Structure 1
Amino acid sequence: MPMYAALTYTRDVDWTSPEYAEEMKDYREFGQAAAAVIRGGNALYPTATATTVRVTGGKGGEVITSDGPYAETKEALTGFYLFECADLDEAVAYASRLPAAWDGAVEVRPVIEF
């Protein structure tokens, strides 16, 4: 069966903070309900913890790192799920049940398996 990445875009917050416990409950409930198709996934720490990596001059060039996200946006990539579904329609149906879809967005993309 095909695999789909469901990328969650929400407010850029620390989901480990106690103030988000109620919202995390919704994610745990989703995880239990969709366990049959979930093959992986996790939440990400806020973008302030990100390190952006670039290599100047192409392969073998100088490695340049900078603190913070690649781009500043209202909503940030805050997590992902890996679904194994029959088709895109099924993956979209599961993505629509993610709490991120209720006040943010979920991007669903097919996974290339090498």
Structure 2
Amino acid sequence: MTQYFLTMPHDAATEPTMESMQEFDPEELAAVMAAVEAFNTALQDSGAWLFAGGLHPPSTAKTVDTSSGEPRVLDEPFVEAPAYVGGFWVIEAPDEAAAIDWATQASRAVQTPIEVRALQDPPEL
């Protein structure tokens, strides 16, 4: 089976976090959190779940660069963009259509677009 990376974008201008989500309407937030929990449980029950996580915003990023020989640690994201990956799931699915079905369910749960990308197979040696 192929592994897929399902990503959830966040707005770079507002950099939403779990803390800032506390400002949302409590009932709406509870409904989204319940929908995400139900989605995660469905993934786990089906065997498609590999792992998932939420990321801190780009303003907290460090970029390590050794391309000039000596390591440099920069207090910045690798790339600046209007949106960034705020959360993700790594799943296993028999084909792209099944991965898109899971992404459709994720999009309904989190009420935002979800990008679907297959992980590359390792090179044959």
* TM-score relative to the length of structure 2: 0.72
Query: What RMSD in Å do the two structures reach over aligned CA positions?
Result: 2.5
Unmatched 5+ residue regions in structure 2?
none
* Residue deviations 1:85-114 (CA, integer Å, cap 9, x gap): 111110111112223874344232234358
Residues 1:47 and 2:47 are matched in the alignment: no
Quote the residue 2:6 is aligned against: 6
Answer 1 or 2: which has greater strand percent: 1
* TM-score relative to the length of structure 1: 0.78
Quote the residue 2:96 is aligned against: 88
SS in 1 for 2:41: helix
- Counterpart CA distance in 2 for 1:16 and 1:75 is 19
Q: How many corresponding residue pairs?
A: 111
* Residue deviations 1:1-23 (CA, integer Å, cap 9, x gap): 22112122223311344236714
Quote the residue 1:63 is aligned against: 71
Answer 1 or 2: which has greater helix percent: 2
Unmatched 5+ residue regions in structure 1?
none
**Share of identical aligned residues, percent?**
23
